[in-house]
Amino acid sequence: MSKPLGPIPPGYETLEGELAVGGKRASALVTEAGRTPLFVYSRSHIDQRMTDLRAALPQRIGVNYAIKANPHPDVIRHLEPLVDGFDIASAGELELALSIGLDPSRISFAGPGKRDDELESAIAAGVTLNCESEGEADRALTIAQRLGRTPRIAIRVNPDFELRGSGMKMGGGAKPFGVDAARVPDLARRVIAEGAAWRGLHIFTGSQALSSHDIIETQGNVLKLAKELSDAVGVPLPKLNMGGGFGIPYFPRDKALDLPAVGAALSEMVADLPPVLARAELCLELGRFLVGEAGVYLCRVVDRKVSYGVTYLVTDGGLHHQLAASGNFGTVVRRNCPVAIASRFDAPADDEVNVVGCLCTPLDRLADQALLPRAEVGDLVAVFCAGAYGATASPSAFLGHGPAAEMLV
């Protein structure tokens, strides 16, 4: 019995029987790239997501792009005029952002375990540090004094609540992320007293949530906590990074987030903020939600084989580029992501197959017992929802096959 596939995101079309991205056939994109596997990122999908997001959110709330979701330079350049800021998580991402020409004042740097050289680079560049511990804040202040610079410091808060229904929980209870909420006011007062430029709070509680109810509940808790902490600090809050957690449908029965409902609730929340938050710059930090559905991973069938009556399509791709689709990126029970035969996109699905990669491990699976159009050697397989946490979040060095090609169209 075949297993269902995840939902293909809206907006993808058929051209001459093939999957088309950006008005170009999959085979033409592969020819242009010169090889498979290939990640293709769609400008029009990113633009539509940003249009829908701006229409739903109150003007008061800005949007930051989390570069870790997809650090391809062309993707970042395309987003630069569309978003309000950028969030990075390493010195490597800082170097990338600066090389592209992003304004350092629009960049914030989060992540536990920042090395001294990373802190120094960030302070020298003028980006905001989201400090994740008292020790990190102390090191940043010491480095800034040595450099003769005024550091821009915010505090990442580890709240006592989490984002229910999130794929990865980043807050609530003991966590390596952020400063426990009860300790934030003392640290904030000390940072301000030391002469740092106080840049506020970063409260990120989880990721990949599809329930509008859970996200609305969490954002209400974030604003409540921000007020309590700012009252305790004793100064108006300059900025609040409210986190994000907006998810995208990957698996069968997943439903798209009700964005208008989230936007309406946020509009009510920010319409009557307390004085301590009245002038705060508010933003959501989103990555996957902006670019995830804009990406397609194309790989080629190199062998069609039958083993004990089971048909396998063996491709030149695999988990070394698409760890999430293989089921090895935070999922407990493996389910099929959206997969299609790109070169026969409009053909009837009448062939039950397992789609696997080229690696020497049984973990390298892209689809199990999937009902797809019959594919032969040379056909192209498409894995959707590949625009986030694909090329750079997968073990591309495993077995030495090398990275996939990438392009924005």
Q: What CA–CA distance (Å, rounded) separates 9 from 385? A: 7
Of all residues in the chain, the percent with pLDDT exceeding 90 is 89
In the block, tokens 């629009």 appear at 106
277: which 2 tokens?
A: 């938050």
pLDDT of residue 169: 47
Q: What CA–CA distance (Å, rounded) separates 35 from 340? A: 19
In the chain, where are the structural domains located? 13-41+293-408, 71-286
- Mean pLDDT for 278-301 is 98
- Mean pLDDT for 252-267 is 97
pLDDT of residue 130: 97
Q: What CA–CA distance (Å, rounded) separates 171 from 157? A: 8
- Mean pLDDT for 253-282 is 96
pLDDT of residue 234: 96
Taking 80 as the threshold, does the pLDDT of residue 361 lie above it? yes
pLDDT of residue 204: 85
Other beta carbons less than 10 A from residue 146's beta carbon? 10
- Mean pLDDT for 24-47 is 98
The per-residue pLDDT of the chain, averaged, comes to 94
Matching CATH number, 71-286, of 2.40.30.10, 3.40.30.10, 3.40.50.720, 3.20.20.10: 3.20.20.10
Taking 80 as the threshold, does the pLDDT of residue 165 lie above it? no
Task: Collapse the DSSP code of 245 into the 3-class scheme (helix H, G, I; strand E, B; otherwise coil) and give the result.
Answer: coil
Q: What CA–CA distance (Å, rounded) separates 293 from 259? A: 15
User: Is the omega angle on the peptide bond into residue 362 within 30 degrees of 0, that is, cis?
Assistant: no
Other beta carbons less than 10 A from residue 238's beta carbon? 15
In the block, tokens 């307390």 appear at 274
In the block, tokens 């740097």 appear at 109
pLDDT of residue 1: 84
pLDDT category of residue 185 using cuts at 50, 70 and 90: very high
Most distant pair of Cα atoms in the chain: their distance: 72
- Mean pLDDT for 98-119 is 96
Q: Whose CA is closest to 297, among 87, 4, 40, 22? A: 40
Taking 90 as the threshold, does the pLDDT of residue 123 lie above it? yes
Q: What CA–CA distance (Å, rounded) separates 266 from 54? A: 12
Q: What is the reported pTM? A: 0.94
Taking 50 as the threshold, does the pLDDT of residue 255 lie above it? yes
pLDDT category of residue 163 using cuts at 50, 70 and 90: low
Question: Which residues make Cβ contacts (< 8 Å) with residue 309, sequence separation at least 6?
Answer: none
Of all residues in the chain, the percent with pLDDT exceeding 70 is 96
Task: Collapse the DSSP code of 116 into the 3-class scheme (helix H, G, I; strand E, B; otherwise coil) and give the result.
Answer: helix
Q: Whose CA is closest to 207, among 4, 68, 56? A: 68
Domain 13-41+293-408 is found in CATH 2.40.37.10: yes
Considering only CA atoms, give the Rg of the chain: 23
